[in-house]
Amino acid sequence: PLPQGVLTGGYHGNWIDATAVHNAVVSRESLAAVGGSLGAGAILPIGPETCPLGEALRVANWLAAETAGQCGPCRLGLPAAAGGLSDVLNGGGPAALEALRAVTQAVKGRGACKHPDGSARFFASTLSAFTDDLAAHVLDGGCGRETTGVLPLPAPGYQDAEESIPSGEKLAVDWTLCQGHGLCADIVPELIRLGPDGYPALADASVPVHLRGRAQRAVGRCPALALRIEQAPQERPALPAPSRKALGSGRS
C-alpha cells in the first residue's frame, strides 16, 4: 500500500513523504533533493495501518538506551526527548510538543560523538513529516491507530545466544595507576567488583562477547587510565560462524 512515509538513512536519517518517494531514486543527491538522506543505506517504509509517532517513539527509546553515557546531551538529552515524545502521544498537548522541540534543539552539536546529532535529526524529521498525526495527538488526544512495530529493532534478549561465547580477551588493571575511583565496577559489575579496600577485584575469566562493549566503556571511563583490555593467555576458542560478526567492531 501507499506508505505514510519512508525513513531514509536509518535511525539517524530523515523521513520523506509518499509524494517524494515517487520523485526520488536511491542516491545521495536525489534523496537530499527531497529532504531525505542515504546515510546508512537503510530504506524503511511504513504503511497506513500503524501510528507513525508510536513507531518513532519505539525508535526514540532505543536510541536513548544506546548512549555511551559520555556526555550530557546524549546521557540526559536523548532520554528527555524520548520522554517528551511519549508525553505528546499521551495527551500532553501543545506544552509537551514545545518541550520536545526545545530538548531536541538543545542536544544538537553538543555531543562528544554524532549519536545525539543523528538522533535529534530523527526527532526533528518525525515532527516535520507527520504533521497531521502530530495535530491529532496534540489537539485531539490521538490518531486512533495502534503502533504495530513496523520499524525493526533488536528484540529483547537478542544477545542471549552470545552470553557463553568468550571474546579471548581479559580486563587488566595497572596497579601503579589505579586510584580506586570505582567507576568500572558500576559499568560492568559482572566482571568487576570492589574489594573491602575500595579497589577493583577482577573476575578471573575471559570477557564474554555480550559484555565486551561495556568492558570497553569501563576502560574508556577510567579517570586514571588504569584499566585495559588485553588478550587472554589461553588459546582463543573457535567461535560459531553466526557469532563472528559480533566481534567485528574492533577496539574503540
The pLDDT of residue 222: 92
CATH number attached to the domain at 162-233? 3.30.70.20
Q: What is the pLDDT of residues 52-61, one digit of tens each?
A: 999 999 999 8
| 134 close to 127: Cβ distance less than 8 angstroms | yes
Tell whether the model's pLDDT for residue 64 goes beyond 50.
yes
Per-domain boundaries in the chain: 1-49, 51-147, 162-233
pLDDT band at 155 (very low <50, low <70, confident <90, very high): low
Question: Distance between CA 239 and CA 247 in Å, rounded?
Answer: 10
Q: What topology is assigned to 51-147 in CATH?
A: de novo design (two linked rop proteins) (1.20.1440)
Average pLDDT along the chain: 81
**Rounded CA separation 149/225 (Å):** 42
Q: What is the pLDDT of residue 203?
A: 64
Q: What is the mean pLDDT of residues 31-59?
A: 90
pLDDT at 166: 57
pTM: 0.61
pLDDT tens by residue, 184-220: 988 888 778 887 788 888 866 678 777 788 889 999 9
Provide Rg for the chain, Cα atoms.
22
pLDDT tens-digit map of 125-153: 999 999 999 999 988 888 889 999 999 98
pLDDT of 7 above 90: yes
pLDDT for position 189: 81
The answer to whether 121 and 13 have CB atoms below 8 angstroms apart is yes
Tens digit of each residue's pLDDT (9 = 90 or more) over 68-107: 777 888 878 888 888 888 888 887 888 888 888 888 888 8
pLDDT at 240 over 50: no
